[in-house]
Amino acid sequence: MPIKVLDPKVVSRIAAGEVVERPASVVKELVENSLDAGATQISVEVRRGGVSLIRVIDNGSGIPSGEAELTFNRYATSKIASLEDLVSILSLGFRGEALSSIAAVAEVDLVTCAAGESAGTYLGLKDGVIANRGRHGRSQGTTVTVKNLFRKIPARLKFLKSSVTENSHIANVVSRYALAFPEVRFVLSIDDRVTLRTPGSGQLIDSVTRVYGLEVAQNMLEIKAQGWESGIAPSSPVVTGMVGSPRLSRSSRDYISLFVNRRWMSHRLLAWAVEEAYHGLLMAGKHPVAVINISLPPGEVDVNIHPTKAEVKFRDEHAIFGAVQKAVRQTLIELVPVPQIEELATTPWVASASWLPLPALDKRGGNPAFPPLAAAQAPALSLPVLRVVGQLLSSYIIAEGPDGLYLIDQHAAHERILFEKIRDQWLHREIEVQQLLEPMPFEVSPKQGEILRAQGEKLAEFGFLIEPFGDRTFLVRAVPAPLASHDWQEMLRELLESGGDRGDW
Counting the structural domains of the chain, the total is: 3
| Selection from 9-13, 367-371, 426-430 with the highest mean pLDDT | 426-430
**pLDDT at residue 221 above 60?**
yes
Q: What is the pLDDT of residue 348?
A: 42
Write the DSSP string, 268-320: HHHHHHHHHHTTTTS-TT-B--EEEEEE--GGGEE--SSTTS---EETTHHHH
Is residue 23 very low, low, confident or very high in pLDDT (cuts 50, 70, 90)?
very high
Assess whether pLDDT exceeds 60 at residue 345. no
Tell whether 237 and 171 lie within a shared domain: no
Q: Which of 185-194, 231-240, 277-286 has the lowest mean pLDDT?
A: 231-240
The mean-pLDDT minimum among 45-54, 57-66, 485-494 falls in 485-494
Q: Give the span between the Cα atoms of 58 and 63, in whole angstroms.
A: 12
Query: For residue 344, what pLDDT is reported?
Result: 40
Domain boundary among the residues 160, 184, 208 is at 208
Q: Which tops the pLDDT comparison, 235 or 7?
A: 7
- Over residues 95-124, the mean pLDDT reads 91
Q: Is the pLDDT of residue 479 over 70?
A: yes
Which band of pLDDT confidence, cut at 50, 70 and 90, is reported for residue 472?
confident
Flag whether 273 is in a domain: yes
Q: List the single range of 131-145, 191-205, 350-364, 378-392 with lowest mean pLDDT.
A: 350-364
Tell me the CA end-to-end span of the chain in Å, nearest whole number.
Answer: 45
Q: Is the pLDDT of residue 15 over 70?
A: no
| Cβ atoms of 402 and 372 closer than 8 Å | no
The answer to whether residues 455 and 474 belong to one domain is yes
Same domain (yes/no): 150, 36: yes
Upper half-sphere CA count for residue 9 (Cβ side, 13 Å): 8
Residue 335 pLDDT class (50, 70, 90 cuts): confident
Q: Quick one: 60 and 123 in the same domain? A: yes
- Are 134 and 192 part of one and the same domain? yes
In a domain, 468, yes or no: yes
Structural domain contains residue 82: yes
Task: Return the pLDDT at 353.
Answer: 38
Cβ contact 259:180 at 8 Å = yes
187 and 253 assigned to the same domain: no
- C-alpha–C-alpha distance, residues 356 and 359, integer Å: 9
Report how far residue 397's alpha carbon sits from residue 400's, in angstroms, rounded to the nearest whole number: 10
Beta-carbon contacts of 172 under 8 Å, excluding residues fewer than 6 positions away, are 24, 254, 446, 447
- Whether 183 has a pLDDT exceeding 50, the answer reads yes
| Tally of residues, the chain | 505
* Residues 151 and 288 both lie in one domain: no
State the average pLDDT over residues 187-199.
95
**CATH code, domain with 227:** 3.30.230.10
How many whole angstroms separate alpha carbon 331 and alpha carbon 351? 32
Mean pLDDT (whole number) for 346-368: 44
- 244: pLDDT strictly greater than 80: yes
Mean confidence (pLDDT) of the chain = 82
> What pLDDT was estimated at residue 88?
65
87 shares a domain with 146: yes
Q: Are residues 202 and 224 in the same domain?
A: no
Which range, of 15-19, 39-43, 102-106, 469-473, averages the lowest pLDDT?
Answer: 15-19
Q: Which residue has the higher pLDDT, 46 or 355?
A: 46
Q: Which one, of 237, 232, 338, lies nearest residue 297 by Cα?
A: 237
Residues 229, 125 within the same domain = no
Residue 4: φ, ψ to 5°: -150, 160
More reliable by pLDDT, 187 or 237: 187
Residue 376 included in any domain: no
Listed in sequence order, the residues at least 6 apart from 223 whose beta carbon sits closer than 8 Å to its beta carbon are: 239, 240, 241, 242, 243, 292, 327, 328, 331
Average pLDDT rounded to a whole number, residues 441-464? 86
65 pLDDT band, cuts 50/70/90, is very high
Three-state SS at 110: strand
284 lies in the same domain as 204: no
Percent of the chain with pLDDT over 90: 41
Asked if residue 490 is part of any domain, the answer here is yes
Whether residue 411 is contained in a domain is answered as: no
Look at residues 178, 208, 238 and tell me which one is the last residue of a structural domain.
Answer: 208
Domain end among 208, 234, 261: 208
Q: Is residue 340 part of a domain?
A: no
Domain check: are 125 and 258 in the same one?
A: no
- Which of 14-18, 32-36, 162-166 shows the lowest mean pLDDT across its residues? 14-18
For residues 265 and 288, give the distance between their C-alpha atoms in angstroms, rounded to a whole number.
Answer: 17
Lowest mean pLDDT across 207-216, 229-238, 371-380: 371-380
- The residue segments making up the domain with residue 161 are 8-208
CA nearest neighbour of 33 among 6, 65, 57, 2: 57
Q: How confident is the model at residue 356 (pLDDT cuts 50, 70, 90)?
A: very low
What pLDDT score does 80 carry?
A: 62
Angle at 220 between CA 217 and CA 222, to 5 degrees: 125
Note the pLDDT tens digit of each residue in 293-333: 999 998 888 877 766 677 888 889 999 999 999 999 999 98
Q: Which pLDDT score, from 0 to 100, does residue 499 have?
A: 60
Distance CA 149, CA 50 (A): 8
The H or E element that residue 135 is part of is strand 129-136
Using alpha carbons, select from 168, 198, 190, 176 the residue that is nearest to residue 24.
168
Residue 219 has pLDDT above 50, yes or no: yes
pLDDT at 359: 47
**Nearest-5° Cα angle at 281, 320 to 403:** 110
Nearest to 154 by CA among 105, 102, 204, 203: 105
> In this structure, what CATH number is given to the domain that contains residue 140?
3.30.565.10
pLDDT > 70: percent of the chain: 79
- For the domain that residue 492 is a member of, what is the CATH number? 3.30.1370.100
Res. 376: pLDDT tops 50? no
Q: Is residue 387 part of a domain?
A: no
